[in-house]
DNA sequence: CCTTGACCTGGAGCGCACTCCAGGTTGGAG
DNA sequence: CTCCAACCTGGAGTGCGCTCCAGGTCAAGG
């Protein structure tokens, strides 16, 4: 019921005004209300969509796919299966992403440990990944 | 000692040929060897740099920062402190990133659970985030 | 020697997700 | 009623990280 002015919606969603307008322009966020004079009024429903978009965006979903999802949702109840599948597929990709990220994070930590084992600028050779910890070549 | 042809280096590093050339062009990868005729020859050292770049890239470090790191490394041993700090700062950002990612992943899972609780296309209203699970507004 | 596939260069182009701008309108406070 | 900050529109511009291209060169097998 409560309506939010653009600035307030931006503040609450964490998206910029321009991004909100952009999302509407490309049809990601549809049917945003307007005042008589044409200024946008965001509802709680719009806000919860934005929360979802933030979640999907933060997890790396491309905008095109978010559009697809939103479109399906607008099409009605008979698309729930497809929507669920879309989200499940995305979740699987996020899992992969998390795995890769934590693996690479470990490499990074190892490299930092290497730097911490040499207290000050020592003489001698410098290799980038030559933390003596295994074969340098990955895959 | 072993030298790798461009295609082999690409295969081993997982970067495309174009990307390897690009990295050299912008000075990220420096002093790549050449044959008499001008064709690149990658060393194991180059390869280990590429492994590092892959790690940093996969964890979201912008190229400019990788360049900074590489430049420092080329400057010599007196930059180890700065290099360590650079990596530590990045690691901190990666931690944040992982936290955000897993939090948003949880939201995603919750949404999927919501979809799984409704077995087939049910009638009635459809709300995007209206998993009855708390305030919709996240900030 | 000839062929052919891998390689070279400089530079243009691309896809994504915004972000910025000019020039005009709206609407609530005083 | 006046003011001015917040808003509107369409469209151009940006930053990043590649990716592609044309037109030429290299080098190993036959």
B2 pLDDT tier (thresholds 50, 70, 90): confident
Question: What is the pLDDT, as a whole number, of residue A122?
Answer: 52
Q: Does residue A17 approach strand C to less than 7 Å at its CB?
A: no
With residue A41 as reference, give the H or E element that holds it: strand A40-41
- Compute CA B85 distance to the chain's CA centroid, rounded to the nearest angstrom: 19
Q: How many angstroms separate the CA of B31 from the C1' of D30?
A: 35
CATH number of A6-117: 1.10.1660.10
Tell me, what's the pLDDT at B92? 98
Q: Does residue B67 approach strand D to less than 7 Å at its CB?
A: no
User: Would the CB atoms of B130 and A91 count as touching at under 8 Å?
Assistant: no
Judged by CB atoms within 8 Å, which residues 65-104 of B form the interface with A? Answer: 73, 76-78, 80-81, 83-84, 87-88, 90-91, 94-95, 97-98, 100-102, 104
Comparing A41-45, A50-54, B89-93, B119-123, which segment has the lowest mean pLDDT?
B119-123
> Does any CB of chain B come closer than 8 Å to the CB of residue A108?
yes
| Interval B92-132: pLDDT, tens | 999 999 999 999 999 999 999 999 987 655 544 445 554 43
pLDDT tens figures, B37-69: 999 999 999 999 999 999 999 999 999 999 999
Q: What is the pLDDT of residues B21-36, one digit of tens each?
A: 999 999 999 999 999 9
- The interface residues of chain B toward chain A in range 4-63, judged by CB-CB distance below 8 A, are 12, 14, 44-45, 47-49, 51-52, 54-56, 58-59
């Amino acid at each position: 019921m409560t309506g939010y002015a653009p600035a307030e919606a931006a503040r609450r969603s964490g998206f910029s005004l321009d991004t909100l307008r952009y999302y509407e322009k490309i049809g990601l966020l549809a049917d945003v209300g307007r005042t008589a004079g044409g200024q946008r009024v965001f509802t709680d429903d719009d806000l919860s969509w934005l929360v979802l978009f933030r979640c999907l965006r933060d997890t790396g979903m491309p905008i095109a796919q978010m559009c697809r999802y939103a479109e399906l949702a607008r099409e009605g109840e008979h698309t729930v299966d497809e929507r669920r599948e879309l989200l499940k597929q995305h979740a699987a990709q996020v899992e992969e992403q998390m795995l890769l990220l934590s693996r690479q994070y470990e490499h990074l930590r190892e490299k930092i440990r290497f730097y911490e084992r040499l207290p000050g600028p020592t003489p001698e050779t410098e290799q980038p990944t030559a933390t003596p910890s295994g074969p340098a070549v990955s895959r």
